[in-house]
Amino acid sequence: MTALFRRPRRRLTLFELINHPVTDIVVMALIVASVFLLVVEESFDVAPTSRIHYASQVITAVFALELILRFLAARKKARFFRRYWPDLLALLPLLRPLRFFRFFRLFRLFRLFQLGLLLDRRVSTLRGILRVNFTFLWALMVLTVILVIGSAVMGFILEQHQGGDFQSVERSMWWAMFTIIAGEPVGGMPQTFLGRGLLALMMLSGMGIFAVFTGVVSATMMSRLQGRDRVAELDIDELEGHILIFGYNAGVPPLLAELAVDPELKGLPVVLVNEREREPDLSGTGYRMDLVYFMRGDYTQVPVLSRAGVPRASRAVVMADDIRSHDPADRDARSVLTALTVERLNSKIFCVVELMNSANRATLSLVNVEAVINRSDLAGRALASACRHPNLMEVMMNLLTMRRGEMMHRVPGPREPTPFSRLMTVVKSEVDAILVGIERDGETRVNPPEDLMVGPEDFLILVGGPEEQHVRRRRLA
């Protein structure tokens, strides 16, 4: 057993804070408010002492704090600057020497792309309907908004002294929108050379947006007809302390469902690495889908394992994959090879392996794999228990799940050596749980002799209610 349950502290804490649902909702609301205030400021020439200006400054300061946290959480700083350079430029007006450079504020419009990513991550209904193309459609809409607002502001700056539709930002914005939609100038014609160049650019951009929209819709239809889903690797190399699930079978959804209710594991990112053509629909598991990453590749290969972040992961679950082959020997061979490679890349990782044949367990013991689950053996024992008495199966399922009823816990032993029989009474009275066994030197003993002395170096195996209510992480008296 390794000490891997200690999460990477600062970066993982920042990751959980930045990706918390409440944080995303606040950021989305601030993005909408920021863009709205920008349009108001540019349309009505708001004074620097007005409440609208102060509100805009406060929102910009909040975005500055968000970027600082993202910078601290980023493993690759160069990628941070490549991704967030528009947001950094939008912060420049906060600096007193640059407060008069108003055009920097237009970079706030690029935050609409971030809003689209947050919506894609949070609104599971839209993701289910639009699938991969939600992001593209949102990006297309954002580009259109940026084009309209940018063209309106530039048209007002270049043509405001020429009269016509350019006497105010509001009229210029309506002109820009109708011109882009129609693909030809609607209303007044720009009089200056730069204004006409802007008009030509707007017309070309409008036609390009229409062409891209048509292509995206066509690609969506073809993708849905061919049964292809998005397979994306979203900053997996930024993750630390995450859970890796190699391979796929019918046991993955129940696995995620149990992780979703575990108080220690439910906030960790999960990376599924397999060779499925389509991403599985795991929205019904209850796990936060913004923390679930999909990666397609042969997980027996070292480059794929490295890209999945094995050296930085906290746990790995190797499933008996049924995608390549249904032959038990082939499935176990891939599982054993994967487990051996994972342990070689990260000797501190907590690794769990599912096998079809218990004869392969001996190989995994050579690399100190923490847990090996034999599917056939487990199913056979469960069926035998059900044959003896049907209610025994209900008891077993109750103990194996955290979603209902009682569950098993592993807690430190008592501070002073105590007989097992005495400890059973203490456990029941102090934490309202049942002591069923102990763990000593890596071996578990169920229902040991009543006179067995249990000390602080041992661990207790208890059956009780949810850990946060009944079983405290402390040594029993």
CATH class for the region spanning 406-477: alpha beta
Query: How crowded is residue 158: how many other Cβ atoms within 10 Å of its Cβ?
Result: 20
Closest alpha carbon to 171 in 183, 158, 184, 188: 188
| pLDDT tops 50 at residue 234 | no
Give the tokens for residue 454: 């249990």
Query: Which stretch of DSSP H or E encloses residue 287?
Result: none
Average pLDDT of the residues of the chain: 78
Query: What 8-state DSSP symbol labels residue 473?
Result: S
Q: What is the 3-state secondary structure (H, E, C) of 228-267?
A: CCCCCCCCHHHCCCCEEEECCCCCHHHHHHHHCCCCCCCC
pLDDT digits (tens, 9 = 90+) for 375-424: 888 888 888 888 888 787 778 777 777 777 778 888 888 888 999 999 99
Topology of domain 123-229 in CATH is: Helix Hairpins (1.10.287)
Q: Where in the chain is the domain with CATH 3.40.50.720?
A: 236-375
Looking at 3.90.1300.10, 3.40.50.720, 3.40.50.10540, 3.40.190.10, the CATH number of the domain 236-375 comes to: 3.40.50.720
Q: Single out the residue of 132, 154, 115, 88 nearest to residue 33, CA to CA.
A: 115
- Look at the chain and count its residues: 477
Distance, CA of 273 to CA of 248 (rounded, Å): 8
Contact 202, 180 (CB under 8 A): yes
For 378, residues 6+ apart whose C-beta sits below 8 A from its C-beta are none
State which of 33-37, 455-459, 468-472 shows the largest mean pLDDT. Answer: 455-459
Assign 130 a pLDDT band (cuts: 50, 70, 90).
very low
Q: Give the C-alpha separation, 253 to 275, whole Å.
A: 16
Q: Which helix (H) or strand (E) element contains residue 389?
A: none
pLDDT digits (tens, 9 = 90+) for 414-439: 888 999 999 999 888 888 888 999 99
Task: Give residue 132's Cα distance to chain centre.
Answer: 16
Residue intervals in the chain for CATH 1.10.287.70? 123-229
The structure tokens 């794929």 sit at: 304
Among 58-72, 116-130, 241-255, whose mean pLDDT is lowest?
116-130
CATH 3.30.70.1450 domain range(s) in the chain: 406-477
- Cβ–Cβ < 8 Å for 158, 192: yes
pLDDT of res. 126: 45
279 touches 124 (CB < 8 A): no
Question: Does residue 335 surpass a pLDDT of 90?
Answer: yes
* Average pLDDT of the residues in 323-345: 91
**At 94, which amino acid appears?**
L
